[in-house]
Amino acid sequence: MLLTQLTYLEAIAETNAGTATVLQYLCPVGILAYTCVKDRVAPTLAEVVSMLLAIGGTFLIATHGQLNHLAINPKGLAWGVVSAFAYALYIILPLNLIQKWGSMLVIGVGMAIPGILMIPFSGLLSSSGNYRLDTWMALFGLVVIGTIFAYTAFLKGTSLVGAVKGSLLASFEPISAVFFAFVIMKEHFFIIDFLGMGMILLAVLLITLKDFIIQKEKGIL
């Protein structure tokens, strides 16, 4: 989880919250590709279309359709893609542990251990400690609201409505991130950026809706 958060924040620092969040949502496509390889099954037509949409959307965000230059900070693009990869690992790797010990314990330990290990590298020990009120408010928002409350609420909601519906609802996160980045942070986006973001979100929706339809047909939902 530390790698997920670190790469995501680095992507935000190099680009903006909206772009970083959309790039991180390449994660379901990565999980889909991993599952197809692991289970040695060919992707369905909907899955192929979703992969092409995700790749095409990333291409538009990165280049604005021009092959000879990047329209996005290369570091931001790299951090965003690594963030998606880390997010996929965050979902795939702890599955057995979560089934045995429960999600709250696994995530709690997963937050605590890397947090402690990163203290010597965070600059906290060498900091003068002269934090302003807005700094404390930002830390509170990042740690308590953006991490603890957000992950707990997501897990609780997923336990109530199911993983598929939870993933479908979570896909609204990039939309809200882009909206607030535009309205509050005054970030500038081009029409082609929105087109690329829309393609990535459509890819995520296709994957999620496919799972939703399959489970509904099986009578699971």
Residue 185 forms part of a structural domain: no
The three-state secondary structure class of 132 is: coil
Domain count across the chain? 1
Instruction: Please tell me which of 37-41, 58-62, 94-98, 118-122 the model is most confident about, judged by mean pLDDT.
Output: 58-62
Domain containing 110 equals 1-121+190-218
**Do residues 33 and 109 make contact, with C-beta atoms less than 8 angstroms apart?**
no
Confidence class for position 79, pLDDT limits 50, 70, 90: very high
What is the pLDDT averaged over residues 181-203?
87
Say what the pLDDT of residue 95 is: 74
Closest CA to 163 of 95, 107, 106, 111: 95
pLDDT of residue 82: 93
Does any domain span residue 53?
yes
Q: How far apart are CA 63 and CA 111, in angstroms?
A: 35
Q: What are phi and psi of 15, to 5 degrees?
A: -125, -105
Mean pLDDT lowest among 59-73, 83-97, 102-116, 156-170: 156-170
Is 28 contained in some domain?
yes
**Interval 28-61: pLDDT, tens:** 788 888 888 888 888 888 888 888 898 898 988 9
43 closest CA partner among 27, 31, 55: 31
Q: What is the largest CA-CA distance in the chain?
A: 60
Residue type, 174: P
**Radius of gyration (Cα) for the chain, nearest Å?**
18
Location of structure tokens 């329209």? 71
Half-sphere exposure of 55 (CA within 13 A, CB side): 8
Angle between helices 103-117 and 150-161 in degrees, nearest 10 = 160
pLDDT at 161: 65
Q: Which of 31-35, 87-91, 198-202 has the highest mean pLDDT?
A: 198-202
> Would you say residue 138 lies in a domain?
no
Judge whether 91 lies within some domain: yes
Q: Confirm whether 126 is domain-assigned.
A: no
Confidence band for 164, pLDDT divided at 50, 70 and 90: low
Residue 187 above 90 pLDDT?
no
101: pLDDT strictly greater than 80: yes
Question: Cα 146–147–151 angle (5° rounding)?
Answer: 110
Does 10 reside within a domain? yes
DSSP 163-203: HHHHHHHHTTHHHHHHHHHHHTS-----HHHHHHHHHHHHH
Average pLDDT, integer, range 101-125? 80
Residue type (1 letter), 127? S
CA-nearest of 167, 169, 171, 158 to 200 is 171
Whether 127 is in a domain gets the answer no
